[in-house]
Amino acid sequence: MATTMVAGRALFLALVTTIAAVFLHSAGAVRSYAGVPKGKNTEFIRRSCSSTLYSSLCYTSLVPYANAVARDPIRLARVATNISLARVRSVSSHVSSLRGADARKVDARTLSALEDCEETLGDAAGLTRQSVHELGLLPTSMDKKVAWRVSNVQTWMSAALTNEGTCMDGFTGAGNSAVKADVRQLVRLAAKYTSNGLALVNRLVQRDR
């Protein structure tokens, strides 16, 4: 019985490996076949991401949108801030649910950090949402009004980043716990997306981009 199960599992693993290999092989073939028209769009993402602090995270999160972005820096900045928005919203609602569920399980310091995070992350989400909206109002040419809108977005994204930092700092002095580690890790990742989004927004007003 046990032997049959082990053999069955081995067979199953072999099957999965084979399917994965065939799949990866054909995916590679598709990519190289379609690589000519797509190349410039992905190269644009790579080049733009090279000026961000977390460039590989930037590249992997944005490359699925390469063709939708179509080498438009404004569209790129908008997609990036939109990804950052999804992140910060998700962490924000996670923190709210933790605070409700774990209110009696964590020390007072952690609980108060969670409460502060609910507020700062809520603000960060609001600022990021405003940024996505503002970038949507940009025409493709750069005039004075564009510079003004971009400077709004720079201000809001920087403030969102500060809020995320404030949330993490709130746990300083709180006892080590799974909740603290969990929230800090998620917020740290969300802040990387915010930082990248801000860097791509900054590129909109840099001369040598």
Residue number of the CB atom closest to ligand NAG:
82
Asked whether position 87 contacts ligand NAG by CB under 6 A, the answer is no
Asked whether position 184 contacts ligand NAG by CB under 6 A, the answer is no
Identity of the residue, 77 or 161, whose beta carbon is nearer to ligand NAG in the bound complex: 77
Query: What DSSP character marks residue 171?
Result: T
Asked whether position 79 contacts ligand NAG by CB under 6 A, the answer is yes
Asked whether position 81 contacts ligand NAG by CB under 6 A, the answer is no
CB of 137 vs ligand NAG, minimal distance in Å: 11
Distance, CA of 72 to chain centre: 19
CB of 72 vs ligand NAG, minimal distance in Å: 12
Structure tokens at 39: 């190349």
Contact stretch for ligand NAG (CB under 6 A) within 25-33, 76-84, 121-129, 147-155 = 76-84
Instruction: Give the C-alpha separation, 32 to 105, whole Å.
Output: 53
Burial annotation 120-150 (CB, 10 A radius, 16+ → b, else e)? bbbbbbbbbbbbbebbeebeeeeeeebeebb
Interacting positions 125-144 with ligand NAG (CB under 6 A): 132
Asked whether position 205 contacts ligand NAG by CB under 6 A, the answer is no
Among 82, 84, 92, 194, binds ligand NAG (CB under 6 A): 82
Burial annotation 15-36 (CB, 10 A radius, 16+ → b, else e)? eeeeeeeeeeeeeeeeeeeeee
